[in-house]
Amino acid sequence: MQRRTLLSCLLAAGALAACGEPKPQFKAVDITGVDYARDFRLSDAQGQARSLADFKGKAVVVFFGFTQCPDVCPTTMTELAEAKRMLGAQGEKVQGVFITVDPERDTPEVLRGYIANFDPSFVALRGSLAETEQVAKDFKVYHKKVEGKTPGSYTMDHTAASFVFDPQGKLRLYTRYGTGPEALAHDLKLLLQGA
């Protein structure tokens, strides 16, 4: 009798476990369901208005930075390009989006040259100061101009992380700076597989 009861309990536990789908094991911070960073509407380096809907069907990685950044920005964009390359043919379904927090210096021409250094499919976006402020606020991105040693020289402090959207346009992941291309490629692959 005890054996039959034990077997029944094990079968019931197995059935219950099969009912719940396991959560994907992302390397980045899973922020699925947050109520911010829903979209952006800014101009690309060719002057065309772009929004998240333009990239439907792709995993989209959004990063806020500036072209005169000496370390965090080029490292992040290089890692994104490498993660895309690591995915092989699936990499065609990955869209990199760079949003400048320094529209005063990052003109369309400067952005075109900058983004071409990483991947020809990546898009660089900019807005007016007010538009930049609004999008950064919506994404909860910190950015602040820090005056330099000479008049007119400055740098920008900014959030050093990326936001990853799934192919349906839903924000899913917050990727911290320096996690490396392998971790990003792992997460992008899961999202492209429908995780």
Instruction: Please enumerate, by residue number, every residue annotated as part of a binding site.
Output: 69, 73, 158
Are residues 87 and 188 in contact, defined by beta-carbon separation less than 8 angstroms?
yes
CA distance 78 to 84: 10
How far is 114 from 109, CA to CA, in rounded Å? 9
Annotated binding site for Cu cation: 69, 73, 158
Give the residue ranges of DSSP H helices in 87-194. Answer: 108-116, 129-139, 181-192
Nearest-Å Rg of the Cα atoms of the chain is: 21
Task: Give the closest residue to 155 by CA, choosing from 169, 167, 145.
Answer: 145
Instruction: Output the CA angle 172-164-62, nearest 5 degrees.
Output: 145
| Residue 90 burial class via C-beta count within 10 angstroms: exposed 0-12, middle 13-18, buried 19 and up | middle
> Phi, psi (5° rounding) for residue 23?
-75, 140
